[in-house]
């Protein structure tokens, strides 16, 4: 025998007298575990700030990128005309004013830039109004903000995979993130909206 | 893996290893045996994809962590002031008050916690060195060194205590190389 230490300890194994778990108890334990939820699939937490910042970058900066070599983009006068038109179709909360467009005269812009610039401003305004209304217990303000947020979301154009950047619009990820943010706020969780405001407004 | 396959795999793991896991805990913390066993298999169920082909060391590793978490919780609540160190369960046996068991208990207490765990995983839980290494998250070589040290220390302590089992332990234990 080469290992008497092990043998000695095994002679005094306290579990030698341990009775197995009775089958009924074992079965109950097993069934309880089987009924418990399995681990949630590892879903990446939406990176609100990143997604929404990216969205804003696409909307406010990327869309304004100069594509002088690509025919068919909007020039500054076109964007100004569109901006004037689109502002008439979007409401802002009382007291909030549209920001002026500051466009280089010789630049060209992605299509729909004016619409996206307006939507981004309106989202900042209505999300802020929504949070303030909720804090103040203003049910009408909350309901109006929710309706406006949904309306703005419906107007966000989709930038399809494979399209050129100057096609404008928001990626599907941005649209999904926006939907989730609005849905979360409607459920009382304003975290995603606050993240949007902090990142973009 | 389909739901049925998951259920079947878990059931097989549970039925095969529950007694070994429960015994592992019972030897060290009888009061926690059933709770820790249930928690261990709950982790197993939730992380079924992570369970390796040789599941027992993994399960015992989980049980060890669960048990230590319980202990830490107890310590935070100040409930085990006199039980700061891991004690094998044999001290609860009335027979431990005298003789060989008492001597072994004392000798085990003299070991460092890690060395003692290596020794007991080998002796009581009957794990080989690879499995002990898997449980403790160390290398096989480290296990071998600790096991050798633990055996020698145990032999010295038993001899020093003048226990019957310890009288010959110096020679018995000293050549049990890793």
How does DSSP assign B88-115, residue by residue? -GGGGSGGGGSHHHHHHHHHHHHS-HHH
Give ∠ CA A165-A167-A171 in degrees, rounded to 5: 70
Position A38 scores a pLDDT of: 73
Q: Are B57 and B128 in contact (CB under 8 A)?
A: no
Q: Are A94 and A131 in contact (CB under 8 A)?
A: no
CA-based nearest residue to B85, from B99, B98, B74, B96: B74
Higher pLDDT residue, A38 or B47?
B47
**DSSP class per residue in A130-176:** HHHHHHHT-HHHHHHHHHHHHHHHHHPPB--TTS-GGG--B-HHHHH
Burial of B116 (0-12, 13-18, 19+ CB in 10 A): buried
- Which of A5, A15, A34 has its CB closest to that of B151? A5
Q: Which residues contact A177 (CB under 8 A, 6 or more apart)?
A: A46, A48, A51, A52, A55, A192
- Confidence class for position B156, pLDDT limits 50, 70, 90: confident
Position A190 scores a pLDDT of: 93
Higher pLDDT residue, B40 or B87?
B40
Q: Chain A residues with CB inside 8 Å of B173's CB?
A: 4-5
Higher pLDDT residue, A74 or B170?
A74
- Confidence class for position B31, pLDDT limits 50, 70, 90: confident
- Confidence class for position A116, pLDDT limits 50, 70, 90: confident
- Which of A6, A8, A29 has its CB closest to that of B122? A6
CA-based nearest residue to A79, from A97, A102, A50, A62: A102
B31 touches chain A (CB under 8 A): no
Higher pLDDT residue, B56 or A45?
B56
Token match 């939730």: residue? B46
Position B23 scores a pLDDT of: 95
Position B152 scores a pLDDT of: 87
| Measured distance CA(B70)–CA(B29) in Å, rounded | 10
| Measured distance CA(A111)–CA(A109) in Å, rounded | 6
Interface predicted TM-score (ipTM) of this complex, two decimals? 0.74
Q: What percent of chain B has pLDDT over 90?
A: 38
Q: Which residues contact B164 (CB under 8 A, 6 or more apart)?
A: B99, B100, B103
pLDDT tens across A128-171, in order?
999 999 999 999 999 999 999 999 999 998 877 766 655 677 77
Interface test with A, best of B94, B143, B172, B177 (most A CBs within 10 A): B172
Position A141 scores a pLDDT of: 93
3-state secondary structure of B163: coil
| Measured distance CA(B165)–CA(A11) in Å, rounded | 11
**Tokens coding A98:** 């549209």
B45:A12 CB<8 A: no
Rg value, chain B, Cα? 18
| Measured distance CA(B170)–CA(A47) in Å, rounded | 63
| Measured distance CA(A182)–CA(A180) in Å, rounded | 5
Chain B: closest CA distance from residue A16 (Å): 9
**Tokens coding B149:** 């040290």
Please name the residue of chain B whose CA is at the shortest distance from the CA of residue A23.
B15
Q: Chain A residues with CB inside 8 Å of B37's CB?
A: 21, 29
């Amino acid at each position: 025998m080469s290992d008497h230490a092990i043998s000695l300890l095994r002679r005094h194994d306290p579990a030698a007298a341990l009775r197995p778990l009775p089958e009924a108890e074992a079965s109950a334990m097993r069934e309880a575990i089987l009924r418990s939820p399995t681990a949630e699939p590892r879903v990446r937490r939406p990176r609100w700030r990143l997604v929404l910042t990216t969205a804003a970058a696409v909307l406010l900066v990327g869309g304004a990128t100069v594509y002088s070599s690509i025919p068919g983009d909007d020039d500054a006068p076109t964007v100004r005309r569109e901006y004037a038109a689109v502002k008439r179709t979007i409401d802002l909360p009382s007291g909030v004013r549209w920001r002026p467009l500051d466009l280089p005269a010789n630049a060209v812009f992605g299509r729909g830039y004016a619409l996206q610039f307006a939507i981004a401003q309106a989202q900042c305004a209505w999300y802020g109004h929504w949070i303030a209304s909720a804090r103040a217990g203003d049910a009408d303000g909350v309901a109006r903000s929710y309706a406006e947020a949904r309306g703005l979301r419906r107007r966000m154009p989709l930038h399809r995979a494979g399209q050129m950047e100057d096609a404008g619009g928001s990626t599907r990820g941005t649209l999904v993130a926006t939907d989730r943010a609005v849905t979360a706020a409607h459920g009382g969780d304003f975290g995603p909206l606050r993240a949007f405001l902090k990142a973009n407004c | 893996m389909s739901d049925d396959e998951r259920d079947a795999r878990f059931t097989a793991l549970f039925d095969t290893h529950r007694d070994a896991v429960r015994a592992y805990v019972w030897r060290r913390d009888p009061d926690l045996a059933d709770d820790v066993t249930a928690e261990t298999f709950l982790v197993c169920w939730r992380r079924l994809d992570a369970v390796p082909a040789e599941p027992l060391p993994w399960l015992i590793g989980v049980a060890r962590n669960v048990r230590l978490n319980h202990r830490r919780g107890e310590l935070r609540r100040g409930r085990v002031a006199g039980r700061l160190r891991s004690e094998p369960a044999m001290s609860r046996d009335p027979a431990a008050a005298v003789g060989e068991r008492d001597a072994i208990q004392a000798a085990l207490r003299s070991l460092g916690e890690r060395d003692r765990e290596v020794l007991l995983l080998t002796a009581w839980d009957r794990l080989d060195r690879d499995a002990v290494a898997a449980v403790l998250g160390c290398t096989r070589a480290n296990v071998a060194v600790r096991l050798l040290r633990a055996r020698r220390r145990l032999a010295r302590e038993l001899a020093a205590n003048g226990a019957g089992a310890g009288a010959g332990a110096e020679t018995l234990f000293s050549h049990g190389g890793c």
